[in-house]
Amino acid sequence: MVKRLVLAAGLALALSACGDQQFSGGSTRHLAPIPAATMALMSAKGMSKDDPILIRAYKKESELEVWKRGRDGRYAHLKTYPICRWSGQLGPKVREGDRQAPEGFYQVTPAQLNPNSSFYLSFDTGFPNSYDRANGRTGSHLMVHGSCSSRGCFAMTDEAIAEIYAVAREALSGGGQRSFQFQSYPFRMTAQNLAKHRYDPNIAFWRNLKEGADHFEVTKTEPQVAVCGRRYAFNAPNCTDADPATAQAVARKQAEDEQTIAELVSKGQPAVKLVYEDGGGHPSFGQVAMAQTVDEGNGFPVLGAAPTARNLGDVSRPEALAMGPREIPLEGPGRPKAEAPTALAFAPNATPRSEAARPAGASARSTAVATAPARQAGTARVASAEEPTLPPVPPAATTPESSRSVYQRMMSFIGRVDEPQTTAAPAVAAPLPSQRSDAAARARAN
């Protein structure tokens, strides 16, 4: 009986997102100072380590921003960190075990910082909040932590979480901030993104999140969050606007954005839905996660084997991370277009299908994007059932070797390009490798 209880407790912990545990071992990593370079950046921007902070995370762009409040009471951007791994799809967390990272507005208190995390260091996002509970959403232990493995969390790498943790610690202790706001979005709340995702099933929820984002963009102050009628309400105690001037300024911004959305749609902006194998991560981590050095024992990539690779620790489902999202065109709410491609996502060297699959927030302040190396053939392109059957091509005349182009001769290593095949063999997905290391198997199971 005792054994069953232990197994049940372990299963519950595994299902509860990242399963972050408290480990006591006398570690002092949580006391590490803020790096000198970041302290210099604060000084250059007129900030101090004790100033209050606010954090914003964006799934599609895989970026996390830290903001600090200045002497004028307004927040200014300090630094952007690439997110190594988040799991699930764009959209909110709904139930325990769905692998979704949360979206919404959360408060983080000093008690939610975990100095003895099993993922180096971490802080709990505070899910579920009052909005989540009002809408029947369940889940627990949704963290921002180290490493590069996620089951509903934002994994930042050990190096990045050490710095973020130190910045938060100083604001909450030295500065006396009682809690900081953590804002989590599916993507940057731009008119372009909302036009692209206008038919997504989550669009009503995302528009509600945009209201809070607009309050922050207009005022550069932390929006006060309430729940009214199972919706987020911002700067509205008792569900009424407290500051008419702010409400009018936000309404003007929203009207401008709606006009931009309408113009984009009228000009033919396609509606899409992004579908991930299991979440994503910043492109700068792609080369490391799918390093081409392999373990001779099982044929799988060895992390950190390349000379320039960073030590990411455990990476959950690296093959899903490398694939990137599929972009499904929609012709109406939840209705994919009939000609929507279904095979390109499985091509071994697939690139994002359009700009929608590329981080829209990439800028000079973002970490430089590394080009992911071509993967060894593990899957083949799966032919769509709707692809037309081409008529047979008559055989071409034999071309003398001396008259063949350099390109043709080079391509002869993988097949003759001057001799079209009259019968095309059906494209079949090649099987994935059957052997995996224990670490890769555990990451796959997550």
Using the structure block, give the residue that is written with the tokens 């000379």.
307
299: left (phi over 0), alpha (psi -120 to 50) or beta: left
Q: Which of these is catalytic: 84, 153, 215, 282?
A: 153
221 neighbors 75 (Cβ within 8 angstroms): yes
The Cα–Cα gap between 232 and 225 comes to: 7
* 3-class secondary-structure state, position 263: helix
Q: Quick check: is 228 catalytic?
A: no
The one-character DSSP state at 215 is: H
Which of 254, 185, 249 minimizes the C-alpha distance to 218?
A: 249
Please name which of 82, 18, 142 lies closest in space to residue 280, comparing C-alpha atoms: 82
Which structure tokens are listed for 93? 């967390």
Helix, strand, or coil here: 426? coil
Please spell the DSSP secondary structure of 287-349, one letter per residue: HHHT-S-B-TTT--B-TT-STT------BS-HHHHHH--EEEEEEETTEE-TT--SSGGGSTT
CA gap 405, 6 in Å, rounded: 69
Q: Is the Cβ–Cβ distance between 55 and 160 less than 8 Å?
A: no
Task: Give CA separation, 202 vs 89, 104, 208, 254, 333, in Å.
Answer: 11, 13, 10, 19, 10
Q: What's at 46, amino acid-wise? A: G
Among 145, 197, 215, 282, which one carries the catalytic annotation? 145
Q: Catalytic: 145?
A: yes
Q: Which amino acid makes up residue 112?
A: Q
Q: By the 8 A CB rule, do 147 and 312 touch?
A: yes
Q: What residues act catalytically?
A: 145, 153
